[in-house]
Structure 1
Amino acid sequence: MEKMSFGQILEEKGLKKTKVRMALLHHFLQLKHAQSYNDLQLALKNEIDKSTLYRNLTSFEQAGIIHRINDHSGTSKYAFGELPKGGQDHAHFVCENCETVYCMEVSTPLQLNVPKGFKTKNVQTIIKGICSKC
């Protein structure tokens, strides 16, 4: 499969190609781990103001360019890529030392016996431990 340009990714998701969105998308594609709002704000402070960053994160999440991770630290993290339907084949590794969050593929889907009448929207698997950098 041919690599898509930043503009093509935005176009495919129905978003206008703006300087801000290009910078945000470029930032996400350079990283191997999730970023908090504060991380993104610090990294892009010369290119994006706070409210523009928030609006574009919301647009990216709604379009499926990024997904939000609740790692129970009280701060949401954002990572490139859409969560698979039902959260299958996707987990997050949280380093207990540096608090970096990494997206991970799951080799076998988690099978849950949800009680009758319950409806699952998605599943987030959080794995805690120490990353290779720590």
Structure 2
Amino acid sequence: MKKEGYERLLKQKGLKKTKVRIALIQHFINMEHAQSYNDLQAAFVEELDKSTLYRNLASFEQAGIIHRIDDHSGMAKYAFGESPMKGNGHAHFVCECCETVYCMEESIPIQPIVPKGFQTNQVQTIVKGICANC
């Protein structure tokens, strides 16, 4: 995706076009795996302060540009694309060795049957194992 595509995405999602937002989108698209706040802070140490990064992550998540992954490590990870709750969704692979989180490309049905009277708000599928790099 070129810069024009990033700008079009921001416009479609109702967000202002800024250099920081374009750089963040480009970073997410270029990464093979999900990014923690610390990963992003290290990547943008020169360009962003903590509050600007938090605000932009929140805006991106709310707009559906990125989605949050809770891999039970205590630190949320973020990846490009809408939440797996939209449509069929996708699972996430968590490497038990390096703790890297990857979005799995294959769409999987995520429609659990819950007891009568219960309401599902979020379903997250985590697959654990060892990644190809480890």
The residue that corresponds to 1:28 in the other structure is: 28
Asked if the contact 2:7/2:17 (under 8 Å) is kept, the reply is yes
- Secondary structure of 1:122's counterpart equals coil
Q: Whole-Å Cα distance in 2 between the matches of residues 90 and 55 of structure 1?
A: 26
How many positions carry a matched residue from both structures? 133
Q: Residues 110 and 85 from structure 1, CA distance in 2 versus in 1: closer, same or farther, beyond 3 angstroms?
A: closer
Deviates more, 1:56-65 or 1:77-86: 77-86
Q: Whole-Å Cα distance in 2 between the matches of residues 89 and 113 of structure 1?
A: 16
Q: Residues 108 and 82 from structure 1, CA distance in 2 versus in 1: closer, same or farther, beyond 3 angstroms?
A: closer
Tell me how large the CA RMSD over aligned residues is. 1.8
1:47 CA drift (Å) = 1.0
The residue that corresponds to 1:38 in the other structure is: 38
Q: Does residue 101 of structure 2 align to residue 101 of structure 1? A: yes
Q: AA paired with 2:10?
A: L
Q: Which runs of 5+ in 1 are unaligned?
A: none
Q: Which runs of 5+ in 2 are unaligned?
A: none
Same amino acid, percent of matched pairs = 68
Q: Residues 117 and 65 from structure 1, CA distance in 2 versus in 1: closer, same or farther, beyond 3 angstroms?
A: same
- Secondary structure of 1:118's counterpart equals coil
The residue that corresponds to 1:128 in the other structure is: 128
CA deviations over 1:6-63 (Å, ceiling 9, x no partner): 1011111000000111111111011111000000000011111110000000000000
Q: AA paired with 2:75?
A: T
Q: Residues 106 and 122 from structure 1, CA distance in 2 versus in 1: closer, same or farther, beyond 3 angstroms?
A: farther
CA deviations over 1:71-115 (Å, ceiling 9, x no partner): 000000000000144673310000001110001134541442201
In the TM superposition, 1:1-134 aligns within 5 A as: 5-85=5-85, 88-134=88-134
Deviates more, 1:106-115 or 1:56-65: 106-115
- TM-score, normalised via structure 2 length: 0.91
